């Protein structure tokens, strides 16, 4: 059974950085895409970034492009989200997700989800 466990969230000032981790277990993830989504209070869950496990191909939402970097460590079965130049509007619960196939920006395409980690950016 696939399990995704996020960590690394917290409180940071605007302009600061955080690195989120997603520890994946339960199977080999070759042939999968791993992604980060986020959901702010009162808003829908939105796509942040995705990475193809095999090729390392990445994709980003326009709102985080140039500030966030998604990466994976195959040996550790872990996906990371390095977040720099954080803004108050980045405040949300961040979720890790996985799907068989290529990167996709829609949350309905993902079969597996973690429990989420809170990121709060103060102004």
Q: Are 3 and 77 in contact (CB under 8 A)?
A: no
pLDDT score at 78? 97
pLDDT score at 71? 98
Q: Is the pLDDT at 28 greater than 90, yes or no?
A: no
- The DSSP code for 88 is G
Where residue 15 falls (left for φ over 0; alpha for ψ -120 to 50; beta otherwise) is left
Mean pLDDT of 86-92: 98
């Amino acid at each position: 059974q696939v399990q995704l466990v996020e960590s690394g969230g917290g409180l940071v000032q605007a302009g600061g950085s955080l690195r989120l981790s997603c520890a994946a277990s339960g199977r080999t993830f070759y042939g999968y895409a791993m992604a980060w989504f986020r959901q702010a209070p009162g808003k829908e869950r939105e796509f942040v970034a995705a990475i193809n496990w095999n090729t390392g191909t990445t994709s980003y939402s326009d709102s985080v492009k140039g500030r966030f970097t998604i990466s994976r460590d195959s040996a550790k079965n872990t996906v990371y989200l390095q977040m720099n130049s954080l803004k108050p509007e980045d405040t949300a619960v961040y979720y890790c997700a996985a799907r068989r196939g290529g990167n996709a920006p829609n949350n309905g395409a993902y079969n597996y989800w973690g429990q989420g980690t809170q990121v709060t950016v103060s102004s």
